Amino acid sequence: MQKLNGNDIYEARVVSLINDIDIKTLTLLYQPFIGHLSVALFLTLKETSLLNQAKPRKVEFLTKQLDASLLDLAIAFSRLEAVGLVKTRQIKEKRYNYYFYELYAPFEPKAFFEDVIFSKLLVQYVGSETYTELSRAFMVDASFSEGEDITSTFTEVFNPTLELGDLNIKHFSSGRKTKDIAISFNTDRFLTILKDKYLISESSLDEKEISHIERLATFYHFDEELLASQVSIAFEPSKRKGEKVDLSKLSFNLKTLVEYPNVSKKHRQSKSSQLKGDSLNTQLINLMETLSPPRFLSAQMNNHEIPRSDAILLENLAIKTGLTNGAINALVFWVLVNNNQQLASNYVEKIAGSIKRLELESAADVLDYLEESKKEAKKNTKVSKKTKKAKEELDEVSDEDMDALIKRMEKLNK
């Protein structure tokens, strides 16, 4: 996430054609999960882009225009970047930073609803009922079937016989551009494994299938080797191109593998960050890095089976938010301790969004961030007695309780 200063300078350019439907898409489909400030920031950058090219402005202009703090502005930028609406470049000077913002068009409605990440993310934030209502807002009327088609053709009207010389369109708009979200999945490596190990060539798959597979890999946080193996299981060579991979079967199998960490552990994309030392805190953090979130949460429940709602929440944190196992476990542990053992999904997902935007991956970094945020909140806000009691519970976890928890987790890790 950017650390903005009011004296920082920025320029913004609209590198795609953006129309009224795009604005409607931003407002109805993107706004629920990127927030109203991100949408307002995008529109402000768009409408003032020509002014900024003539005269670069200070970031302070945006804080005044949007009535937002520098921190709120930085978060809004990170959300726009995360969903592919803004690309940011930076030049660091001694006393200020110079930012260049490129604005891209949002997905067209059809592409948005067909996208495995965005569509599920919208459902997560607004619910299935509202999701269906929003989809209806982008439906068009059916064509007429009555009567005879007497529409004039282009040739009948214009009789095109004009001889045109070369037209200089070098500086003309290049049209509509969208920027996809960044993923860590190596598609070339995946296709190589698929061909060499399972004898399935790249030509057997179409672009939509490959794109869907990339997103499922990001969704479930698995690497190229495991995806190649699972695609080979879901591959049906007799089907026509574009339908050879049973994507529903593939998704189900990947979801099942998440529940069996001993099988999938070595194929997680996340990197483990182990700390050195024998203290209880160090042992706990290292177990956060090695255990899968379902098993980690189960250990906190005396090894009982976790509720389905909690299982879904953990899956969303790994798949939709893309947090590492260590980050998820640290977040869940902290919330349970600080929220009276309640794992409220809205609260967890809100914090998870901040962790993702700050690109925190290790359990230690996440715990440090959460504790610092708690201290900062105590300084700047008045805390109710009920909330204060819940917040103070982190300091009340005894060494005995922590030791017992670690022992339960170590048994799961064997």
Instruction: Determine the pLDDT at residue 158.
Output: 65
Q: Which of 157-161, 366-370, 371-375 has the highest mean pLDDT?
A: 366-370
Residues 308 and 263 occupy one common structural domain: no
Residues 39 and 91 occupy one common structural domain: yes
Distance, CA of 80 to CA of 87 (rounded, Å): 8
Distance, CA of 213 to CA of 231 (rounded, Å): 8
- Which residue is listed with tokens 């987790």? 409
The answer to whether 62 touches 68, Cβ cutoff 8 Å, is yes
What Rg do the C-alpha atoms of the chain give, in angstroms?
Answer: 25
What's the rounded mean pLDDT across residues 198-217?
A: 86
DSSP code string of 137-194: TT--PPPP-SS---PPPHHHHH-----------TTS-------PPP----HHHHHHHH
HSE-up of 263 (CA within 13 Å, CB side)? 11
The answer to whether 19 touches 106, Cβ cutoff 8 Å, is no
- Per the model's pLDDT, the better-predicted residue between 166 and 400 turns out to be 400
Amino acid type, 58: K
The domain in which residue 195 lies consists of 187-267
Residue 130 lies in a domain: no
Q: Which of 49-53, 209-213, 217-221 has the highest mean pLDDT?
A: 209-213
Residue 149 lies in a domain: no
Residues 289 and 407 occupy one common structural domain: yes
> For the stretch 156-192, what's the b/e string if a residue is b when 16 or more beta carbons lie within 10 angstroms of its beta carbon?
eeeeeeeeeeeeeeeeeeeeeeebeeeeebebeebbe
Distance, CA of 246 to CA of 233 (rounded, Å): 9
Residue 134 lies in a domain: no
Q: Would you say how long the chain is, in residues? A: 414
Residues 27 and 95 occupy one common structural domain: yes
The answer to whether 2 touches 88, Cβ cutoff 8 Å, is yes
Residues 58 and 82 occupy one common structural domain: yes
Nearest to 176 by CA among 39, 38, 73, 25: 25
Instruction: Determine the pLDDT at residue 130.
Output: 92
Any idea what DSSP says for residue 203?
Answer: G
Instruction: Determine the pLDDT at residue 357.
Output: 85
Instruction: Determine the pLDDT at residue 384.
Output: 45
Residue 129 φ/ψ region, left for φ over 0, alpha for ψ in the -120 to 50 degree band, beta for the rest: alpha
What's the number of domains the chain is made of? 3
Any idea what DSSP says for residue 340?
Answer: T
Any idea what DSSP says for residue 394?
Answer: G
Which of the four pLDDT bands, split at 50, 70 and 90, describes residue 392?
Answer: very low
State pLDDT tens for residues 154-193: 666 765 554 545 545 444 445 666 665 666 678 889 999 9
What is the pairing mode between strands 97-103 and 9-14? Answer: parallel
Mean model confidence pLDDT for the chain: 79
The answer to whether 107 touches 118, Cβ cutoff 8 Å, is yes
pLDDT at 149 > cutoff 50: yes
Distance, CA of 266 to CA of 278 (rounded, Å): 25
pLDDT at 312 > cutoff 70: yes
Please give the helix or strand (H or E) that residue 249 lies within, else none.
Answer: helix 247-258
Residues 287 and 395 occupy one common structural domain: yes
pLDDT at 268 > cutoff 70: no
Residues 232 and 305 occupy one common structural domain: no
- Per the model's pLDDT, the better-predicted residue between 396 and 141 turns out to be 141
Domain boundary pick from 51, 86, 108? 108
Q: At what angle do helices 224-234 and 207-220 cross, to 10 degrees?
A: 120
Residue 173 lies in a domain: no
Residues 203 and 80 occupy one common structural domain: no
Residue 179 lies in a domain: no
Residue 132 lies in a domain: no
The answer to whether 293 touches 330, Cβ cutoff 8 Å, is no
pLDDT at 22 > cutoff 90: yes
Nearest to 341 by CA among 297, 399, 373: 297
Residue 22 lies in a domain: yes
Instruction: Determine the pLDDT at residue 98.
Output: 92
Residue 166 lies in a domain: no
Amino acid type, 307: P
Which of the four pLDDT bands, split at 50, 70 and 90, describes residue 372?
Answer: confident
Residues 202 and 232 occupy one common structural domain: yes
What's the rounded mean pLDDT across residues 254-276?
A: 56
Residues 251 and 295 occupy one common structural domain: no
Nearest to 286 by CA among 336, 339, 319, 329: 329
pLDDT at 107 > cutoff 60: yes
The two tokens of residue 257 are: 């593998």
Domain boundary pick from 55, 74, 108? 108
Contacts for 262 with CB less than 8 Å, ≥ 6 apart: none
The answer to whether 321 touches 349, Cβ cutoff 8 Å, is yes
Which of the four pLDDT bands, split at 50, 70 and 90, describes residue 27?
Answer: very high
Q: What is the pTM of this model?
A: 0.49
The CATH number of whichever domain residue 24 belongs to comes to: 1.10.10
The two tokens of residue 180 are: 């996809």
Instruction: Determine the pLDDT at residue 141.
Output: 78
What is the pairing mode between strands 57-58 and 97-103? Answer: unpaired
Residues 299 and 408 occupy one common structural domain: yes
Distance, CA of 87 to CA of 82 (rounded, Å): 9
Please give the helix or strand (H or E) that residue 23 lies within, else none.
Answer: helix 20-25
Distance, CA of 405 to CA of 399 (rounded, Å): 10
Domain boundary pick from 208, 243, 267? 267
The answer to whether 327 touches 363, Cβ cutoff 8 Å, is yes
Residues 398 and 297 occupy one common structural domain: yes
Which of the four pLDDT bands, split at 50, 70 and 90, describes residue 2?
Answer: confident
Instruction: Determine the pLDDT at residue 270.
Output: 47
DSSP code string of 84-105: TSEEEEEEE-SS-EEEEEEE-P
